[in-house]
A and B are shown apart, each in its own frame.
Chain A
Amino acid sequence: QSALTQPASVSGSPGQSITISCTGTSSDVGSYNLVSWYQQYPGKAPKLMIYEVSKRPSGVSNRFSGSKSGNTASLTISGLQAEDEADYYCCSYLGSSTFVFGTGTMVTVL
Chain B
Amino acid sequence: QVQLVQSGAEVKRPGASVRVSCKASGYTFTRYYMHWVRQAPGQGLEWMGIINPSGGSTGYAQKFQGRVTMTRDRSTSTVYMELSSLRSEDTAVYYCASGADYDSSGYWVDWGQGTLVTVSS
Contact = CB atoms under 8 A, between A and B. Distances in A.
Contacts of B105: 34, 51-52
Interface in B31-47: 35, 37, 44-47
B111 interface: yes
Interface residues of A, number: 28
A45 B107 contact: no
Interface in A76-110: 89, 91-93, 96-104
B47 A101 contact: yes
A40 B113 CA distance: 13
Range for the number of chain B residues in contact with chain A = 20 to 34
A89 B37 CA distance: 12
Contacts of A34: 104-106
Contacts of A102: 44
A45 B95 contact: yes
B108 A97 contact: no
Nearest to B99: A48
Among B95, B105, B106, chain A packs the most CB atoms within 10 A around the CB of B106
Interface of A: 1, 3, 32, 34-36, 38, 40, 45-48, 51-52, 57, 89, 91-93, 96-104
